[in-house]
């Protein structure tokens, strides 16, 4: 699960990108979701998030935002937070999730401090494109470790 603020930009783009990567390696074996710490339920991804994600043939047309919840945290084998604030909010909901919750740009390091993925909300399509490519770069670089962590938790 990816976590951001409103669940209409960063986390849906990351969700869609990881889904594409995982479907190439191990089709149908993983469920990838996202949520937001201040999300209103049921909103679509922003127009620019949808457009930026098309570079990897990602389809965000069915995405609907959802609020971070204790249930979503419990269901998740791996949680990647877009900022330290998002990570802290996950742990506020469920302190026991510390071993499976990481700051996206620090993963696989378990450091609670680090650089966030900047929120492109309200900015240009170019900024959304930059954000999507940044997310894609980190996912590609860490894909094997992401799969290993999920497998490790699923087997436990």
Asked about 119 being catalytic, the answer comes back as: yes
Smallest Cα–Cα separation from 32: which of 52, 53, 17, 49?
17
Give whole-number Cα distances, 111 to 30, 32, 41, 105, 124, in Å.
25, 23, 30, 10, 31
Which residue is catalytic, options 9, 10, 58, 94?
A: 10
CA 135 to chain centre: 9
* CA separation for the pair 137, 89 (Å, rounded): 25
Which residue is catalytic, options 4, 9, 58, 94?
A: 4
CA torsion 59-143-127-41 (nearest 10°) is: 50
Which residue is catalytic, options 77, 112, 119, 151?
A: 119
Asked about 10 being catalytic, the answer comes back as: yes
* CA separation for the pair 138, 150 (Å, rounded): 17
Asked about 58 being catalytic, the answer comes back as: no
Catalytic residue list? 4, 10, 119
């Amino acid at each position: 699960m990816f976590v951001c603020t409103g669940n209409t930009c960063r986390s849906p783009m990351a969700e869609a990108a990881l889904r594409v990567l995982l479907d190439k390696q191990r089709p149908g074996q993983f469920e990838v979701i996202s949520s937001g710490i201040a999300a209103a339920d049921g909103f679509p991804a922003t127009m620019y998030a949808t457009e930026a994600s098309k570079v990897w043939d990602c389809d965000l047309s069915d995405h609907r935002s959802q609020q971070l919840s204790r249930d979503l945290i419990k269901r998740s084998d791996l949680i990647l937070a877009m900022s330290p604030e998002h990570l802290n909010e996950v742990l506020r909901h469920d302190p026991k999730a510390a071993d499976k919750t990481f700051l996206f740009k620090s993963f696989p390091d378990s450091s609670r401090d680090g650089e966030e993925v900047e929120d492109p909300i309200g900015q240009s399509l170019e900024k959304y494109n930059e954000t999507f490519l940044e997310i894609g770069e980190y996912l590609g670089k860490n894909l094997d470790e992401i799969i290993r962590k999920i497998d490790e938790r699923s087997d436990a």
